Structure 1
Amino acid sequence: MTCTVYFVINSQGVSNSSRVFYLRQVEEKVVDEMAMTNVLTGKYRTTGTTPLDLSSCSKGDILKYFEASYDLNESLFVGLKDEDAFYKCPDRLRLPLIFYYAHTATVYVNKLMLAGLMTERVNLDFETMFELGVDEMSWDDTENYRMGGRFQWPPLAEAVEFRRLVRNRIRQLIEDTPLQLPITQDNPWWAVMMGVEHEKIHIETSSVLIRQMPITMVTTPPKWKYAPASTGTAIQENPLVQVEGGEVTFGKPEDFPSYGWCMEYGQQTFKVPTFEASKFKVTNREFLQFVKAGGYENSSYWTKEGWNWQCFRQMRHPIFWVCTKGCKSSCGAVLSSYSHCLPEHFSTTYTDPEIRQHLENNNGPQNGDLNGNGCEHDFRLRVIFDVMEMPWDWPVVVNYHEARAFCAWKGPEFRMLTEAEFNMIQGGALGDPSKGVTSDPVFHKDPQANFRLTFGSSSPVDLYRPNDLGFHDVFGNVWEWVEDHFNCLPGYRQHHLYDDYAFPFCDGRHGLMLGGSWASNGTYNSRFSRSFFRRHFYQHAGFRVARTLPGAGKSPVVMVNTDVYILGAGVEEKDLTVPETVGLEVVPMASTNRQFHQETEEALAAMLALQYGDGGQNYSKALADFCVEKANHYGCPLQKIVQLGCGTGGVTYQLAKTYKEVIGLDYCGQFLEAAIALQKTGEFHLSKPGVTDSETEKKSMTDDIITVSIPADVQRDKLTFKQMTWVPNEIPKSDLVLLDFLDRVNNPKAWWLRLWEIVTENGIVMVISQKIGKEELSSDLNNKLDLLEELELQFKDGQGQTKVTMATIWKLRM
């Protein structure tokens, strides 16, 4: 037997009609709200903490900061009703919650190992399984697509124990490691702060995912506090506020004394004409008009990419709105048929007479026909652990596509802010960043913003006072989507401990969000924070409407113009234009990920010529023979080899003549497709760059076609090719580790410091580079490898020119 229980929270100044009611179907017997306390390895907590000033913090400060973030992340999972919920996919584009529970502990270990602060792993299997997250390049069901739907995650108790062991190890590390201030990017303690701030990011990620779980699988944890629905005066209008044009410079200074991610550093300067932006972020009430007008059914409001997404998702309203019509959910795997929008999730018991009368007149909630007939009483809102009456004065939570469609519906001149404009509406009250942490609102005692889980939800857009320019919620409440593509800033410095954090996403397919949300914690809601997601992804994110004034000129918007090749899919089409009416000028920028620039037919042709020219004699065979010679000289087994930087596989195939198991790894999709094609058929054909398809048909088997083949005596089943992967975790220990792409990666140090963990005790590491020799390598290997020898190698490139490169050979220090 069940009963309906309402939890009522009153807030000073909140009218009776805007009270918040929380619906929960519970067992009639008493339910232990802390049933999942077994996931806690520390204290239970519900609020975040102020970040650290890295110029003056103590060990005690760092330990307290670490413990608080570790506690808060685990505390979110107390809201799951039972262990079964940990193994469900709340979002088809993500993995089950068990992954996110253990993931942050894994990253701590992996980064601290790379930094040399930790010398022994806790659980290599877990540190592999829970390392790689998801930024999907398709709309497939991730668990079924990536894992085949058969992946066996470990028992929850083992994941809890893993987190406990990692916590204890880091606590001891903090206590035992000498602290040197300030903590800068070159300081080993930066790795500790990286782990803490990464955990704080995932506090927000997990809150988004738990919010998508079936309501029957969650329960409201103790002391969880939602914001009031209203301040007492309904927000009926959202006026535009004018901002005078001028020059704006943004980017985090290198010496700013708080932790930062690589994409925050650097500097960008733009001249921005006078523009207008909405005083508030767009509210649920404001967005309702778009829903009622049939905005989700009218393709003219959507970009091509956005409409393709909308046809796939079949959305009728924002993802966290709840109706009664069985709308398609975003859940994945076994939850794919679940819907939040069912009558049992929508209370038909109300205390407000106006709402009750509406429902009686309309025979219950009626939002099946939203084209003009939907009304305020036809929707509720899913918050993280509950379903509540719709707080219409809260900001709407949508993805980029929905925000862009709303702006187009509002009028042809409307759009979202640009990144430059967002930095302008921050106002002048923040101060000069060179003055230290006081210029960042996350360090203020009274920041006048909803972040750090002050509330466990969004809040009314007028709850906090406006800034000096008249804008509310520039920081916190929900993130703001802007029009720009995500890219790193000019002059950035990529950190070797996390070179795969942002760079893979500088592809023109990822949007940019600024300002932080109610769940943002630590430096994640800093004035410098820049967050990136695919445009169809959901976070606690909304938007603000903007408009360029007639005759004022056009505002600059950054768009990445580098083609990005996807393994198995080719180059995805990108639209680098904006409607003439919205007052924007596209500033095309090359991706700051230099690896994307090698995904060209010219680069592919050059790699094929290098590795297969003259039957592979001038490079591939010579290098493979050299590797085998040195392995024999140093008494290394000839069992397993991994080549980091295999290119099109020329050297890898030659090595397969001798070694029993060969793994070739590269980041370049075009290179790997050629290598895999050779593995399947023994041959690969490529039209020379500049030759059209019609010309190829006429001139097949001529000099306009590049044809390469692999030696007939190669056993192809010995080989495995991978496109990047987490090294060292996902690569088996090998007798020979050949590192052959330092001259073309973003950050060489990020690769060579990982090698000691993937070489066997009796194996060798060989580094081939034209630019990097023993002096550069020996200073950054954390004393894990000893140099055996350095020598010069001569080879002929694809044009027959003699080249000289350096080879350094290393052995694991015993």
Structure 2
Amino acid sequence: MDILTGKRTFSSLRPLDLSLCTKQQITDYFNNSYDLNESIFLGLKDETVFYKCPDRLRLPLVFYYGHTAAVYVNKLMLVGLIKERINLDFETIFETGVDEMSWDDTENYRMGGSYKWPAMSKVVEYRRAVRNLILKVIEDTPLVLPVTMESPWWALMMGMEHERIHLETSSVLIRQLPKDMVECPEGYKYGPLKTIRSCNKWLRIKELENVSQNKPADFPSYGWDNEYGEVVCNVPPFEASQFLTTNAAFLEFVERGGYMSQDLWTEEGWMWVQYRQARHPSFWVCDQGCKSGCGADLASYSHCKLNFGQLNEVKNGLERHKKAKHSNYKLRVMFNDVDMPWDWPVEVNYHEAKAFCKWKGQGYRLPIEAEHHAMRGPQLPTLAGTASDIIFQEEINANLNLQYGSSTPVNMFPPTKAGFYDVFGNTWEWMEDHFNGLDCFNSHFLYDDFSSPCFDGKHNVILGGSWISTGDAASRFGRYAFRRHFFQHSGFRLARSLTEKVDLPARVVDTEVFVLGSGVQANKPCLDSDLQVVHVKSTHAAYNLDTLEALEGILELEFGYRESFAAVVADLCKNYCSFFHVSTSSAVHLGSATGRGSFELSKHFCRVLGVETCGRLIDAAMRLKAERYILYKGAKEIRIGDKYNLDRIVFKQLTWIPNEVDSHDLVLITHLDRVQNPKAWLVRLWEITKPKGIVVIASKDGNWDKKKLNHHLCHRLKCISSQEVPFEDASGEGTATVTVWRHK
């Protein structure tokens, strides 16, 4: 079947200058983004491949084909550029992707169990409808320049850049499929395999002061939230390899048993090696029948020639890999196996890069984010506008923007003025820094959880873009990150500090993050002990609030007082529904904390959904529901007895309001004082409220009165009541501000 709703292309336009772009340029960039993403799927041989799982930690490819279209609709609804949805079912099942939070996650299927995905013909039809809708939005909506974060047009820019991110995501997944399921599409061009071999020299950078990492808020291009803010630091003298580490350089590590030497790996890295039975980089192909990471009915597939069932004959390849000749290795590029291009950069995850550093010897490490900025050398100041950004320049002297459909030799493109090759493009580069917001980080209400859930100390920064990076991902300001086990088109170069006991401005998140189902996991810096790093708190508000002390305090406040804030507000909700003649079929409590409010609502509502952002709090609520009691502060006990209808309650940890929340007769929100971006929680309240239903907004601090809320709530919600109500807490009696809003 034809999966294209536009035209085939593997050529990318440059991004939009938001200070002077025209409607025609916006139309062209949108079509190009949409076309590129669809064209990458032309490499699938038939419709059945869309339902395969190339990676057992990811979803089937049909999800990624439909996902970006659904995100356009969801974001444009938030800013009012469209008034009606196209297909709510599709905008729910295709809404949220997967950033697996562990390398040993169970097989991922949406909605629990083995989900039946819609027919491809329906998904293609949906993408076509979304394309036509957006083209009409561009045509009909007045364009006011410059387009800024406050403009409704920002939502459309967000959709286009999100689409380009998934061009990379889908390409990695397609690259993991069995070869007989893919074919190289017409017009797709790989890079040259060979070049003149060069020695990988070490280049020195002297100490630099006031190295700045930031994107100005008024820079005239789209940016993701984590790019804004600023960090300024001094960079101690260091040296780094001129080129990215090549396949040829990594070969020696493989042949000398690097994947079998536990002492070279971090604890987390070695667990990953054992789990994946990794013996070489994931896109290398040998003849040993190595285990693949495919899922579902592809779980037994091996990219490495032999049938998976023959592994026992070669003892998982361990002995034979010790003797493997490099001539046996090939490389899986997007759609083919090719003779190993030894001059291309090796593509590995963070664990593999760190093990290579350890194998090289004392002092070897990966660069840090500030050093990457230093290796770029002098650049035009940002006051020059888009001309200062490589992706906007007339001649892009880097393997970026899909000039090729693969990596290229590491010395093919010219170096930066500091002498380093492929600082931009070819492959992403792993950094030592944990991903975190810059100082003064603020999320955007349209995508509050784009970056912040990854500020957990488990995600490392990647910089520079890859051969398939386009748009913002190829920008000098682009900051991205993945879990350390993650496969991407990512490589690395080596770095060393030039002084002992150096204070290295690597930013390491030291906030303890509680993961539901796993608790708090160890999170040690992976650097030599003689390097002093910068320990920082996560810039994600929920992680800093989600402490053991906070849990114990909230349990005390919710269950230690008969007229607690949660109990009083829940009782008010019952009265409001009675007074305003609202059905009691279903309620959702946003900010359910440890559950008292949701438990109280279960006495009056047939279905109750409790939504909470903090892991410890939702864990406590779930334990109380399951066991009816909980111990805290060592010996104190809470018991909830039989007065609640626990079978009516479902608790979910969510970082925003996705479509799966559905719509309810009552929407209660009580956590605006402790979320990162209150507007992100307010802007969708109208859509999750049934017609004639009500929204109840309660705050203990008095900050959220009718006047302030009117600035953020959709015009479809009308205030019908506002009052101050007393409640009990540790200081005696407090007063809450409670407003009620009717869905028109």
Superposed pair shares fold, TM > 0.5 = yes
Q: Per-residue deviation at 1:403? A: 0.4
Q: Deviations over 1:638-691 (max 9, x none)?
A: 1111100111111111111111111111011211122112212221111x1xxx
3-state DSSP of counterpart to 2:686? helix
Task: Quote the Cα distance in structure 2 between the aligned partners of 1:746 and 1:343.
Answer: 51
Whether the 8 Å CA contact 1:293–1:370 is kept in 2: the answer is no
Please say if 1:484 is aligned against 2:433: yes
Q: Which amino acid aligns with 2:31?
A: E
CA distance in structure 1 between the partners assigned to 2:503 and 2:608 by the alignment: 55
Q: Would the aligned equivalents of 1:560 and 1:591 in 2 still touch at CA under 8 Å?
A: yes
For 2:217, the equivalent position in structure 1 comes to 254
1:145 Cα deviation from its structure 2 partner: 6.6
Match of 1:592 among 536, 539, 551: 539
Asked whether the equivalents of residues 612 and 654 of structure 2 are also in contact (C-alpha less than 8 Å), the reply is yes
Which residue of 362, 366, 377 maps to 2:327?
Answer: 377
Match of 2:10 in 1: 46
Does the 8 A contact of 2:58 with 2:108 survive in 1?
no
| Aligned length in residues | 733
Shift of 1:433: 1.1
- Structure 2 counterpart of 1:712, from 629, 637, 642: 642
In the TM superposition, residue 613 of structure 1 has moved relative to its aligned partner by: 1.6
Gaps of 5+ in 2: 309-316
Aligned residues of 1:321 and 1:381 also touching (Cα < 8 A):
yes
CA spacing shift, 1:420–1:725, aligned 2, 3 Å: closer
CA apart distance, 1:147? 5.5
Trace 1:618-633 onto structure 2 (pairs within 5 A): 618-633=564-579
CA displacement at 1:706 relative to structure 2: 2.2
1:239-291 deviation line (CA, Å, top 9, x unaligned): 11111111211111111110000001111111111110111000000111111
Whether contact under 8 Å (1:320, 1:382) holds in the other structure is yes
Residue deviations 1:124-174, cap 9 Å, x none? 111110111111122345545766551111111111111111111111001
Aligned partner of residue 794 in structure 1, secondary structure: strand
1:171 aligns with 2:135: yes
Q: Is 1:812 aligned to 2:738, yes or no?
A: no
Q: Does 1:644 align with 2:576?
A: no
Measured after TM superposition, the shift of residue 491 of structure 1 is 1.5
SS of equivalent to 2:660: coil
Residues in 1 aligned to 2:406 and 2:276: alpha-carbon distance in whole angstroms: 25
- Report the 3-state secondary structure (helix = DSSP H, G, I; strand = E; otherwise coil) of the residue aligned with 1:70: helix
Counterpart for residue 723 of structure 1: 653
Question: Is 1:328 paired with 2:291?
Answer: yes
Preserved contact between residue 239 and residue 495 of structure 2 (Cα < 8 Å): yes
Q: In 2, Cα distance between the equivalents of 1:762 and 1:278?
A: 65
Q: Do the aligned residues in 1 keep the contact of 2:429 with 2:491 (CA within 8 Å)?
A: yes
SS of 1:727 mapped into structure 2: coil
The yes-or-no answer on 1:156 pairing with 2:120 is yes
Mapped to 1, the partners of 2:256 and 2:283 lie a distance apart of 19
Residue 194 of structure 2: SS of its match in structure 1?
A: coil
Question: 1:234: Cα distance to partner?
Answer: 2.3
1:739 matched to 2:702? The reply is: no
Q: Residue 508 of structure 2 aligns with which residue?
A: 559
Task: Give the counterpart of 1:608 among 537, 555, 579.
Answer: 555
Between the aligned partners of 2:544 and 2:283, the Cα distance in structure 1 is 39
Deviations 1:180-229 (A, max 9, x none): 11011111110000000000000011111100011110011001100001
Q: Is the 8 A contact 2:441 2:539 kept in 1?
A: no
Question: In the alignment, residue 175 of structure 2 is paired with which amino acid?
Answer: R
Aligned pairs for 1:191-210 (under 5 A) are 191-210=155-174
Q: 1:406 aligns with which of 349, 353, 356?
A: 356
Matched, 1:761 2:691: yes
Shift of 1:486: 0.5
- AA aligned to 2:560 is G
- In the alignment, structure 1 residue 240 sits paired with structure 2 residue 202: yes
| Equivalent residues of 2:705, 2:739 under 8 A apart | yes
Shift of 1:176: 0.4
In 1: Cα distance, 2:689 partner to 2:321 partner:
62
Aligned pairs (5 A) from 1:188-587? 188-231=152-195, 233-235=196-198, 237-247=199-209, 248-342=211-305, 369-371=320-322, 373-428=323-378, 430-551=379-500, 553-576=502-525, 578-580=527-529, 584-587=531-534
Residue in structure 2 matched with residue 776 of structure 1 by the alignment? 708
- Deviations 1:429-462, CA, capped at 9 Å, x for gaps: x211122111110011111011111000000111
Conserved 8 A contact 2:266-2:526:
no
* Residue 376 (structure 1) shift: 2.9
- Is the contact between residue 462 and residue 480 of structure 2 (CA under 8 Å) also seen in structure 1? yes
| Paired letter, 2:205 | V
User: What secondary structure sits across from 1:64 in the alignment?
Assistant: helix
1:54 is displaced (CA, Å) by: 0.4
Paired amino acid for 1:187: S
The offset of 1:471, in angstroms, is 0.8
Q: Distance in 2 between matches of 1:661 and 1:367?
A: 55
* 1:491–1:425 Cα change, 3 Å: same
Aligned to 1:802: 733
**SS of alignment partner, residue 664 of structure 1:** strand
Query: Contact 1:561–1:576 (CA<8 Å) still a contact in 2?
Result: no
Partner Cα separation in structure 2 for residue 148 and residue 116 of structure 1:
32
Q: Secondary structure at the match of 2:203?
A: strand
SS in 2 for 1:783: coil
Q: C-alpha distance in 1, partners of 2:387/2:261?
A: 47
Distance 1:240 1:415 in 2: 13
Q: What TM-score, normalized by structure 1, do the two folds share? A: 0.88
SS at match of 2:408: coil
CA distance in structure 2 between the aligned counterparts of 1:334 and 1:133, rounded to whole angstroms: 21
User: Over residues 367-422 of structure 1, what are the superposed CA-to-partner deviations in whole Å (9 max), with x where a residue is unaligned?
Assistant: 96333x43331200000011100110000000000001111111111111000100
**Matched AA of 2:32:** A
- Distance in 1 (alpha carbons) for counterparts of 2:244 and 2:16: 29
- The aligned amino acid for 1:338 is Y
Partner of 2:722: 790
Which region of structure 1 is more displaced relative to structure 2, 764-773 or 214-223?
764-773
**Hey, what's the Cα distance between the residues in 2 that align with 1:526 and 1:238?**
26
CA distance in 2, matches of 1:775, 1:229: 64
Alpha-carbon separation, structure 2, partners of 1:438 and 1:75: 29
Question: Any conservation in 2 of the 1:274–1:552 contact (CA below 8 Å)?
Answer: no
Matched-pair contact (CA < 8 Å) for 1:640–1:660: yes
In 2, the alpha carbon distance for the partners of 1:234 and 1:657 equals 74
Q: Which structure's CA Rg is the greater one?
A: 1
The answer (yes or no) to whether the contact 1:367–1:374 under 8 Å persists in 2 is no
Unaligned runs of 5+ in 1: 1-35, 346-365, 689-695, 697-704
**Equivalent-residue separation in structure 2 for 1:390 and 1:576 (angstroms):** 34
The answer on whether the counterparts of 1:514 and 1:531 sit within 8 Å (CA) in structure 2 is yes
The amino acid that maps onto 2:708 is E
Conserved? CA contact 2:501–2:532, under 8 Å: no
Could you tell me which amino acid in structure 2 is paired with residue 490 of structure 1? D
Per-residue deviation, 1:708: 1.4
Structure 1 position 631, deviation (Å) = 1.3
1:782 deviates by 3.4
One-letter amino acid of the structure 2 residue matched with residue 608 of structure 1: L
CA distance in 2, matches of 1:552, 1:40: 57
CA distance in 2, matches of 1:138, 1:424: 32
Bigger shift: residues 480-489 or 571-580 = 571-580
One-letter code aligned to 2:466: S
d(CA) in 2 for partners of 1:414, 1:222:
43
Residues 490 and 296 of structure 1: CA distance in aligned 2, closer, same or farther (over 3 Å): same
Deviation at 1:743, TM superposition (A): 0.6
